[in-house]
Amino acid sequence: MQSGISATKELQEAFNALVSSTDQRAVLASIENEQLVPTTTLAASSASFSDDLHKLQDHLSQDKAAYVLVKTHDAPDGYVAVTFVPNAAPVRQKMLFASTRLTLVRELGLERFRQQIFCTEKEELTPEGWAKHDAHVSLEAPLTEEESGLKGVKDAEAAESMGTLGRRGHVSSRVDIKTGDGVLEALRSLKEEGCKGTLVQLKYQLPNEILMLDSSNDGVQPDAVGKTINSAEPRYSFYSIPSTSGSEPEIAFIYTCPSGSKIKERMVYSTGKSWTRIVAERDAGIAVARSLEATEPDELTADEFGSGEKKEEQASEAGAAELKPASSVFARPKRPGRR
């Protein structure tokens, strides 16, 4: 979901000043007149990032959203983009800020930001709140030397595969959604020989936005997919469509967002659906043949998952049906009043 809003020259200049300055800590931005504009620049009072976090509290409102571009380290990528959307903010403002946050970092330079954070409470942007965030991030399982090397090769191949599309390739190779235990393994299982009718459901663990494995079910028939997907919360689902021909099953990516979902869930899932598919294809090595979206899972019918062969057969039959009237063009019409 994109809002069509872009960064003004003033915001770009303010961020560039933050990058080149040694005495600035953060730039706050907002959306005004359908544009991203700078609102406040915070000076760095000390060499400690956490000490300067206290000053943010005076510039954050309990009912107004804001972007906070903060320098956490003296490094080219030592910046964090914070999207602050308090629960009391108007609904339209929540949706607008959530749908524009990716545009913000892209236009300012995605390579500058080592993290993107979504917050709803001012307390999350205090030294204590930030410490909790760092502690959670540090819980990520360490890689072995072999795994680290393979990851480097994988990232290099992803960047190389984009050819001469330098900027686009750079961004795609840096997509970094944190995944929980079993996510990639479950996705990889979809391409295994004999895997037909497997439905893998993924969900976000909030507020940390970690992609988790919700469930993996085998032998799910097309007419049961809508009944199997969670109907209370949004889900990203990957389904290996059964094939009667014995060929490798197609994989469908399904995004569902029930009408009863919470506002923050709607924002996070809508923004993350493209990245989730990229990570699934890049890190799990699966090929998504088709994408489907529905509000309620029960809107998904068996017809949505018809195999390519069946669709061609249906199209052929439909074409034949359309030709039938032509064969009777020269038939003598019946006289009025007679049967």
Same domain, 107 and 192: no
Does residue 145 fall inside a structural domain?
A: no
Same domain, 188 and 124: no
Does residue 149 fall inside a structural domain?
A: no
Number of H helices, E strands in the chain: 10, 11
Least confident of 115-124, 172-181, 290-299: 172-181
Chain-centroid distance of CA 213 in Å reads: 15
Residue 280 in this model has a pLDDT that exceeds 50: yes
Q: pTM score, two decimals?
A: 0.46
Please say which residue of 138, 166, 192 terminates a domain.
138
Of 88 and 141, the structure prediction assigns the larger pLDDT to 88
What local confidence, expressed as pLDDT, does residue 336 receive? 53
Backbone angles phi, psi at 97, to 5 degrees: -70, -40
Same domain, 109 and 195: no
CATH number of the CATH domain containing 126: 3.40.20.10
Same domain, 123 and 237: no
Residue 186 in this model has a pLDDT that exceeds 60: yes
Q: Give me the chain's average pLDDT, please.
A: 79
Domain tally for the chain? 2
Domain range spanning residue 129?
6-138
User: CB–CB of 242/194 below 8 Å?
Assistant: no
Can you tell me the mean pLDDT for 66-73? 93
Give me the residues paired with residue 275 across strands.
none
What local confidence, expressed as pLDDT, does residue 171 receive? 35
Of 333 and 68, the structure prediction assigns the larger pLDDT to 68
Of 215 and 45, the structure prediction assigns the larger pLDDT to 215
The two structure tokens encoding residue 13: 């200049």
What local confidence, expressed as pLDDT, does residue 31 receive? 95
Does residue 297 fall inside a structural domain?
A: yes
Rg of the chain, C-alpha, whole Å:
25
Same domain, 132 and 193: no
Q: What percent of the chain has pLDDT over 90?
A: 32
Does residue 323 fall inside a structural domain?
A: no
Same domain, 54 and 123: yes
What local confidence, expressed as pLDDT, does residue 176 receive? 60
Q: Which of 208, 137, 181, 183 is nearest to 280 (CA)?
A: 183
Can you tell me the mean pLDDT for 30-41? 94
